[in-house]
Structure 1
Amino acid sequence: MEDKDFWRSEKVAFLALASVKGISFWTIHKIAQSGVGYKDSLKDPEKAGLGKIFKDTSFDGFEGQERLWAIGLGLARQLAASGVNVVFKNEIAFPAKLRAISDAPEWLFIQGNAENLTKKAMAIVGTRKPSLDGLFLTKIVVAALANSKMVTVSGLALGIDQIAHVESIRFGLPTIAVLGTGIFQNYPKGSEPLRHEILNSGGTIISEYLPHQSYSSENFVRRNRLQAALGDILVPAEWQIKSGTAHTVKYASKYGKLIYNVCLPGTHTLKPELEFSAKEYGAKTLELPLDIHKLLSACDGIEIEIETEKEIQSESQVNPESKSEVFTLESEPFPVDDEASASKSRQLPLL
């Protein structure tokens, strides 16, 4: 059985650490891969290499740690109020498709329907400045999936990505938006209405970045690997050899995904990226709408592997003997009296 109490306390400690100025995404990532555990890192910052940061930010000592724990609880409640949950890689609820890749995220923030992350999916990505042909091809691909059991995956970026999301909603397909920023960031600017539509239509928004983490070119490249991993099929609707989408194509090849370029009849020779990706990554090219049946046949052939709890637990790096009281990032409110009881007993909750 999975120790849910342990994971709940780890989440509060994780969020507490994520709130400290000077503790970056990569610092927490290093802690995750060390197997030390977030709660233990909060309890003994010196051992985790965080002693100086805790002193510089006045979070050292019992009172400092108590305040930091309260901040973690506050952020947990804020996430819960927004319908956001955080799942760690070694939890059963972590998406199997993401756990399976060699560079899997250590955690994932999930808003909306988490079941979409387990379903057959097509990632549809492309340029931020699409041509009329690119827009048409994206719409044809999504429309062809209507009445299917597929979900779509894209990155919420302007251009092809947002068209893929909008058309998915139009045709009743759940769609997954993979962010290149923290889940509380409004990026790209003005995308919040579309995010609400995605959620209200049974879709999902995910990010591996810390809740308030801003964008960077590196973040977007890393984000692309998650799109490739979640999609059983990748359709780069319009792209260039040197572009962000090119990273997604490369990741899809690395993960053994099916890659289908699309073009209008007679335009194959005008797109050098098609020949390039065919030679480098084994991508196939479909002329639409003539070859749409080939794309649908590929969708029908997708099989999803189901992980067992034993397989997941065997990969766990976190100390299984760690125990804790119950805190949750789910819909029920966090206990409000633990902070007061902690002050009386001079012992941090869960530590």
Structure 2
Amino acid sequence: MDQRGTENGRGLPAPGGQPTLWQAHDDLPATDMPFAVALLALGSARGLGTKGLHALVREHREQLGRVWELPGGRLAAELARARVPAARRIAEEIDVSRSELLAAAREKADELARRSVRIIGPSALPARLAELPGGPLWLFLEGDSRALYEGPHVAVVGTREVTPDGVRATEAAVRTMAAYPITLVSGLANGVDAVAHQAALRDGVRNVAFLGHGIDVVFPAETADIRTRIVRSGGAVVSEYLPQEHYRKAQFVQRNRLQAGLADIVVATEGKRTGGTAHTVRFAATYRRPIIGFTWPGAGDLTDLIGNEPTGRLIAPFTAAGRRTLDTLLRSVADSYGHTTFGLSLVERQLSREVELRALHPEDLQRLRQRLDDLLGQEDGGHAR
């Protein structure tokens, strides 16, 4: 039974038998304040910071609006118990600024809703992310939420300084997964991320892009068009950072844990073991996700790190054998979700398009039928051998 919606709720003792903060405040009335409004308001409270906000969400979850019913002294006690510095001063600031913070939060929530951005609370997070150690407590999502929830997901990640061979390798990875009902996960950065998202858009693969900054911040500027197309094509852009929160290096590292956490397989197409992609590989290893590293003469040394991980595997993407191995792994993960898979679905889509656009003669289709018969004969002969 899924306990995520009741963890640390009423009637569940904290570790060691100590009462939770909710149990200490069981006399508080329930609140109808939306989680989104409560989160945005507290996120704007001066001095509360990430630590304090996380502590409050862990305790109150979707009933975060209860915080706004707390007298200043009770809120100060909660923050102090969570070891938030200057707890009393912060509680007093929240109490004094209550009306302004809530009014601004409602306005911001309405603005996000107009942009089709929804805020996912802790009990509604995808299981693969909710179960991560140190995982997110909420997510901002722009686009179609089904892209986030419906698997399988395959992360394609790599360096920002992508080489021509890295571009080819990344496009090969996406092209291979395009035959199956797989959603691509990447980080909407320049380099491999951008190549992966663009290839997915070209090949009809659904995208999930995780950001290292607020949902209303576009960075880098060159990816603005890709982001728009991801949303319009049924994908999703996702962030755990509050609106208007700008990018920092540490946030991109934390973004990488979400890519690895959501993914059924992580494919690192090019990178160095000292680069940012190495963080994604290490997160994937910690979460026991299968990791595929692409190798070719001149590829970066990230493959050394991947090859030493228990869940790591190296594949040569520019060989027929390597591509078949990758295809087998991707088809297998799609099959594991109960999807019906067809290895020639890309060919089928392209053939339908060609038939639609061309003035075909009967002999064109007869020649195609003969070619298929020849291929089937070769396959049968190969099996016979």
Give TM-score scaled by structure 2 length. Answer: 0.71
For the 8 Å contact 1:182–1:214, the answer to whether it is kept is: yes
Partner of 1:334: none
SS at match of 2:215: coil
Distance 1:43 1:304, change over 3 A: farther
Please state if 1:20 is matched with 2:57: no
- Which of 198, 215, 229 aligns to 2:230? It is 198
Please state if 1:170 is matched with 2:202: yes
Please state if 1:87 is matched with 2:125: no
The 2-side partners of 1:241 and 1:222 are apart by 17
- Which of 66, 71, 74 aligns to 1:47? It is 74
The 1-side partners of 2:279 and 2:38 are apart by 33
The one-letter amino acid paired with 1:22 is G
Query: Could you give the per-residue CA deviations for residues 166-207 of structure 1, whole angstroms, max 9, x where no partner exists?
Result: 110000111111000010112123322221111111110000
Is the deviation greater in 122-131 or in 65-74? 65-74
SS at match of 2:308: helix
Please state if 1:107 is matched with 2:133: no
For the 8 Å contact 1:25–1:209, the answer to whether it is kept is: no
Following superposition, the deviation at residue 7 of structure 1 comes to 7.7
The 2-side partners of 1:80 and 1:277 are apart by 41
Following superposition, the deviation at residue 73 of structure 1 comes to 1.0
Please state if 1:116 is matched with 2:142: no
Distance 1:211 1:281, change over 3 A: farther
The 2-side partners of 1:287 and 1:208 are apart by 35
Q: Identity over the aligned pairs, expressed in percent?
A: 30
Give TM-score scaled by structure 1 length. Answer: 0.78
For the 8 Å contact 2:216–2:244, the answer to whether it is kept is: yes
The one-letter amino acid paired with 1:176 is V
The root-mean-square deviation of aligned C-alpha atoms, in Å, is 2.3
The one-letter amino acid paired with 1:13 is A
Higher RCO structure, 1 or 2 (CA under 8 Å, sep 6+): 1
Please state if 1:287 is matched with 2:316: yes
SS at match of 2:274: coil
Query: Could you give the per-residue CA deviations for residues 280-320 of structure 1, whole angstroms, max 9, x where no partner exists?
Result: 34311111132112112212222359xxxxxxxxxxxxxxx
Following superposition, the deviation at residue 263 of structure 1 comes to 2.4
The one-letter amino acid paired with 2:153 is A
SS at match of 2:51: helix
The 2-side partners of 1:240 and 1:174 are apart by 27
For the 8 Å contact 1:51–1:60, the answer to whether it is kept is: no
The 1-side partners of 2:300 and 2:216 are apart by 38
Partner of 2:293: 261
For the 8 Å contact 2:32–2:65, the answer to whether it is kept is: no
The 2-side partners of 1:209 and 1:278 are apart by 33
Partner of 1:70: 103
- Which of 293, 305, 308 aligns to 1:276? It is 305
SS at match of 1:182: coil
SS at match of 1:261: strand
The 2-side partners of 1:276 and 1:16 are apart by 43
SS at match of 2:123: coil
Structure 1: which 4+ aligned runs deviate by more than 6 Å? none
Please state if 1:213 is matched with 2:248: no
For the 8 Å contact 2:271–2:301, the answer to whether it is kept is: no
The one-letter amino acid paired with 1:110 is L
Distance 1:7 1:246, change over 3 A: farther
For the 8 Å contact 1:121–1:150, the answer to whether it is kept is: yes
Number of residues of Structure 1 aligned to a counterpart in Structure 2: 294
SS at match of 2:75: coil
The 1-side partners of 2:234 and 2:179 are apart by 15
The runs of 5 or more residues in structure 1 that have no matched partner are 306-351
The one-letter amino acid paired with 1:27 is G
For the 8 Å contact 1:250–1:281, the answer to whether it is kept is: no
The one-letter amino acid paired with 1:53 is I
For the 8 Å contact 2:42–2:53, the answer to whether it is kept is: yes
The 1-side partners of 2:37 and 2:192 are apart by 37
The runs of 5 or more residues in structure 2 that have no matched partner are 7-29, 77-86, 339-385
For the 8 Å contact 1:41–1:47, the answer to whether it is kept is: no
For the 8 Å contact 2:177–2:330, the answer to whether it is kept is: no
The 1-side partners of 2:32 and 2:205 are apart by 32
Which is greater in Rg? 2
The 2-side partners of 1:155 and 1:140 are apart by 18
